[in-house]
Amino acid sequence: MSRLIAEAGAFLTNFPARGWLAYETLKARREDLIMVHLKGNRDGTSEVDYTVNPATGFPWATGPRNLTEPLNSVLPAWDIAMGELAAVGLLAADRHRERHGAGQLVEVALSDVAFAVVGHLGRVAQAKLHARDSPRRDGNYLYGAFGHDFVTRDERHVMVVALTSRQWKSLLTVTDTHQQMAKINEATGVDLDTESGRFEDRDLIAAILRPWFQARDLADIRTAFTGTGVSWGPYQTFSQLVEEDPRLATAMWEQVQHPGVGSYLMPGTPLDFSAVPREPVRRAPQLGEHTEEVLSDMLGLSATEVARLRRDGVIAPAITATVGP
């Protein structure tokens, strides 16, 4: 394995970086080695997304207003952010090596990623400077401007957001609520043409808009909003996403056959490069599927040597792919 890491020249791992996996040990095989080490906490102790998220403060700011307990997200946001940051770190180290000829160890801790995002969003400064935890939970309202969910006549849910002046004016034009919003201005003295004003009077705005959505089906709302500049989107289950959303019909998505599973849509990269054609979407490899290929192509092992490693239990037996459900 050490030889394989040295041959590749770049290594990403979440195993403890000690013993034969210590950077200095691996570096002895290749001086310009790049190693990205993913950790739970900076001190090396364990942490996962569902344990670090409770510490960020967001579970106490998420959910309906009357909820009295913390609410964790089912989206592993910190794992996703950490994965993206690890890729950026590896590419940055690779660029440094290209310029200066030197490798390096890059370390990133899951808790550092999570807490950095909390800080970048201003929540740490808010708690420190104002000594308060506001904002508290606010259901599906958008913080700082107007955004809320509405139920349609056919019992679908949509999210509508008015961050910019154009979005706000477009929303009032389509829903024909200019006069009613003007009355809110008169009654409360709050300027709804500002983001802060729309946030302050969000309950009154939602109450005025709610009947418009309740009187229309999702299809009618989609037609009414098309081309108007209104910022909105439907709430969808995973099945509704697959069956109804045209954005899953773009070049990023392809139907892929997976052994033992069947055929289903898989995404490629969301990145579109003007100088590089898009590669076909490939299925995920089965465990150990390319072991022999890696050992022979990268390390130059013979068929006899690979067979010996398999016989000794160092590598798993070759996988025979089966197609179909």
Secondary structure of 220-263 as H, E, C letters:
HHHHHHCCCCCEEEECCCHHHHHHHCHHHHCCCEEEEEECCCEE
pLDDT in tens, 261-320: 899 999 999 999 999 999 999 998 888 888 888 889 888 889 999 899 989 988 887 666
Domain positions in the chain: 2-130, 146-235
Residue 75 DSSP class? S
79 carries an active-site annotation: yes
Question: CATH: 3.30.420.40, 1.10.3110.10, 3.30.1540.10, 2.40.128.20. Which one for 146-235?
Answer: 3.30.1540.10
Q: With pLDDT > 90 as the criterion, what percentage of the chain qualifies? A: 80
Run of H or E including 166: helix 165-175
pLDDT at 131: 67
pLDDT in tens, 167-191: 999 999 999 999 999 999 999 999 9
Neighbours of 273 (CB within 10 A): 8
| 235-244 mean pLDDT | 95
**Per-residue pLDDT band at 127 (split at 50, 70, 90):** confident
Angle at CA of residue 236, ends 230 and 239, nearest 5°: 145
**Per-residue pLDDT band at 129 (split at 50, 70, 90):** confident
pLDDT at 216: 98
pLDDT in tens, 188-207: 999 999 999 999 999 999 99
pLDDT in tens, 71-112: 999 999 999 999 999 999 999 999 999 999 999 999 999 999
Angle at CA of residue 238, ends 114 and 240, nearest 5°: 140
Q: Which CATH class is domain 2-130?
A: alpha beta
Do the beta carbons of residue 227 and residue 164 sit within 8 Å? no
**Per-residue pLDDT band at 210 (split at 50, 70, 90):** very high
Choose, from 79, 154, 203, 312, the residue flagged as catalytic. Answer: 79
Examine the pLDDT at 325 and tell me if it is beyond 50.
Answer: no
Q: What gap in Å lies between CA 80 and CA 82, rounded to an integer?
A: 5
Average pLDDT across the chain, whole number: 93
